[in-house]
Amino acid sequence: MNLKKVLSPDVVWVDLKADSKQGIIEEMIARLGAAGKIKDRDAALQSVLDREEKMSTGMQNGVAIPHGKTDAVKSLVVAVGLNKAGVHFDSLDGSPCTIFIMTLSPLKRQGPHIQFLAEISQLLGQSAAREKLLACQTSGDIYDLLT
């Protein structure tokens, strides 16, 4: 998957402010809404929170991939954010998360969502890629690195 097809500079942030799991999710949804990427903020938020209730999307090595399926989006929507201070996200390894990749996809579409999650998981499984991402100073740096 070409990340340029699903990622745009207006949904990449180096400065997430929230200091809680709920806060990070709400902040990313709000910013996606402000960028015009979602039709229904509440429905999008609820889809991600419902997914988190089933099982945390805090992975390991400081990465969280909150995601949801909702008709509040027409096609796959992706956002990337950093909170370098770290946020407790109920991760598999118990460590705080600093890298947040949010995806939203329509309820009836499976392929692009699964393909993106597989690719981003593979990329962020590499410690060098995570280190480069966390070294980014601007949203443009993150966008350029990922695309």
All structural domains of the chain: 3-146 (3.40.930.10)
DSSP state of 131: H
Q: What is the mean pLDDT of residues 24-51?
A: 96
Among the listed ranges 1-5, 38-42, 68-72, 77-81, which one has the minimum average pLDDT value? 1-5
Mind listing the pLDDT tens digit for each residue in 115-141? Answer: 888 888 888 889 999 999 999 999 999
Q: What is the pTM of this model?
A: 0.93
Cite the active site residues. 67
Q: What number is the average pLDDT over the span 104-114? A: 83
Provide the 10 A C-beta neighbour count for residue 105: 26
Residue 2 has a pLDDT of 67
Long-range contacts of 18-23 (CB under 8 A, 24+ apart): 18/83, 18/87, 19/83, 19/85, 19/87, 20/87, 20/88, 21/52, 21/56, 21/58, 21/87, 21/88, 21/89, 21/90, 22/49, 23/87
* Radius of gyration of the CA atoms of the chain, in A: 14
Residue 1 has pLDDT above 70, yes or no: no
Determine the average pLDDT of the residues in 39-47: 97
